[in-house]
Structure 1
């Protein structure tokens, strides 16, 4: 284990001597991001609190370097590890800068008096997390996204080697989610910071993590890189999905498709069909789609939402029999929607389908994403 900075051996966590998860095996080099995923109640927060020392472990050992956490004194651990959990702190008339400065508690002693070095670290943390513009504002009066950034700066004031975060993107809008996770990656690169956190957003977990730990039941389900974890069908089983779908390859999540005989045929491609597919699903209308290359942006949502999808192998000319299949479906449909104004040289078969629909007097709707219905 010499090559790993953080690792556990047969870790068992739980409450009041009752195990929640057993035999947790984690191994992380310094400067990697580990994300815990799993259904609600799977034990993600329990694992994080146990690693942070807020819950007593029932069995096993947690190591930082070659030292077991249980062998570290409280102040030594506070200098190595910083924790940001979901509980919101209560402040009275404290500026954001003052909240950040409380992160120096492992170094300031019982009176909390900041030295010149402490002030330098506070200043560095404020700059690192880019909160200069709110440093003088009342912490209680800023947005949740801003508070999360302040708490991250506070954590960085401890100059930790490892950061523990429980659902850090909860209650944040998409702007702050992306900014926050980008900051974690920035700190990993600049500070070689190791991060262990839980996330609900699977698509973000897949993008930001070096390793992923999947929790379900008494034992860990899977541990590995995003590529090793996000394999076809795995997430659906992990979360016991009975409705809708999740495409592990690209992070697409779709609602349950409308079943039945397709009444609409959609000619799309290049991502132009996705809003149409989802609109038809919302309207409860069964549809078919094609011809779509299997590497096209429209193929995953069409596969999830359409009754029939006619797919073509990527980087090859569309086979003639695909057009015949599509025409047979068009014959059964009363309406054809086309989201393309122009067709590439490899897509002329779709132009042929549109011409066929016109010749057979189908109701045609040409839809341009930026201009609306025509």
Structure 2
């Protein structure tokens, strides 16, 4: 039986008193890649912000590894869960290594310097993400795909069981999108980390997910494996499109051939 590592129960979230997520229930399986899909404004990003406590919930509870997150400090949560927002930015004049080292903040006291042990962890993550040769480069000199690898490396440096990513392929060309998603898939397979992300591209969502979650109007209305989710009926309800579904010739996952 699959174990749920994260459970969201009856959660409601608002922006400036405008309700976005409404009494939502959803669970995420340990060691799997779960992808959240849905139309713009349905609450996908808001849900991730609520889970990571960047946005205060109004109702409900979030259970992380069988513990209510209300009972955990921010640092305790940061040792179990990393969140990569949609548009991460770095200050001027910082190197790739500087940014990745920020991922170690939950393990350090205020003003404590990076230990030798932490430097080893950072080096390992830089190697793992193919960034070691760029470690002393100013992050603002990197390409979009390289920058996204740096942010992922920073999240990996936290050494968490769960990584949340809000549209990690935004603003990237197709080649860099595949590069980033292949990296996340490889990390999931080699480390067993649970990955939860929001994606807009339905075919990429199907290709790289173990489980898909469909949101609409602030609620989860569909969930299942890609073959259950990528159907004309569900896609019409979620996005208002007439979808024609085929099969990927390589991994046999469902793909949207065209939509009207």
TM-score, normalising length: structure 1? 0.64
Q: Secondary structure at the match of 1:222?
A: strand
Q: Which runs of 5+ in 1 are unaligned?
A: 257-374
1:126 and 2:130 aligned: no
Give me the whole-angstrom Cα distance separating, in 2, the residues matched to 1:255 and 1:191.
36
1:247 and 2:245 aligned: yes
* 103-112 or 65-74: bigger deviation: 103-112
1:264-303 mapped onto 2 (5 Å cutoff): none
Give me the whole-angstrom Cα distance separating, in 1, the residues matched to 2:38 and 2:246.
14
Larger Rg: 1
Q: Once the 2 structures are TM-superposed, how far is the Cα of residue 253 of structure 1 from its aligned partner?
A: 4.0
Q: Which has the higher contact order (CA 8 A, sep 6+)?
A: 2
2:13–2:22 Cα contact (<8 Å) kept: yes
Partner of 2:190: 190
Count of matched residue positions in the alignment of Structure 1 and Structure 2 = 254
1:290-369 mapped onto 2 (5 Å cutoff): none
RMSD (Å) for aligned C-alpha atoms:
1.9
Give me the whole-angstrom Cα distance separating, in 2, the residues matched to 1:148 and 1:112.
27
Structure 1 residues 65 and 255: alpha-carbon distance in aligned structure 2, compared to 1, 3 A threshold: closer
Give me the whole-angstrom Cα distance separating, in 1, the residues matched to 2:157 and 2:63.
23
Q: Which runs of 5+ in 2 are unaligned?
A: 248-253
CA deviation string 1:246-305 (max 9, x = no partner)? 42654234365xxxxxxxxxxxxxxxxxxxxxxxxxxxxxxxxxxxxxxxxxxxxxxxxx
1:5–1:64 Cα contact (<8 Å) kept: yes
Give me the whole-angstrom Cα distance separating, in 2, the residues matched to 1:186 and 1:12.
33
2:123–2:132 Cα contact (<8 Å) kept: no
Partner of 1:9: 9
Q: Once the 2 structures are TM-superposed, how far is the Cα of residue 216 of structure 1 from its aligned partner?
A: 0.9
* 226-235 or 52-61: bigger deviation: 226-235
TM-score, normalising length: structure 2? 0.91
1:36–1:44 Cα contact (<8 Å) kept: yes
Partner of 1:65: 65
* 181-190 or 160-169: bigger deviation: 181-190
Q: Once the 2 structures are TM-superposed, how far is the Cα of residue 3 of structure 1 from its aligned partner?
A: 2.8
Q: Once the 2 structures are TM-superposed, how far is the Cα of residue 95 of structure 1 from its aligned partner?
A: 1.2
Structure 1 residues 201 and 18: alpha-carbon distance in aligned structure 2, compared to 1, 3 A threshold: same
Give me the whole-angstrom Cα distance separating, in 1, the residues matched to 2:167 and 2:183.
15
Give me the whole-angstrom Cα distance separating, in 2, the residues matched to 1:215 and 1:226.
15
Structure 1 residues 158 and 240: alpha-carbon distance in aligned structure 2, compared to 1, 3 A threshold: same
Partner of 1:369: none
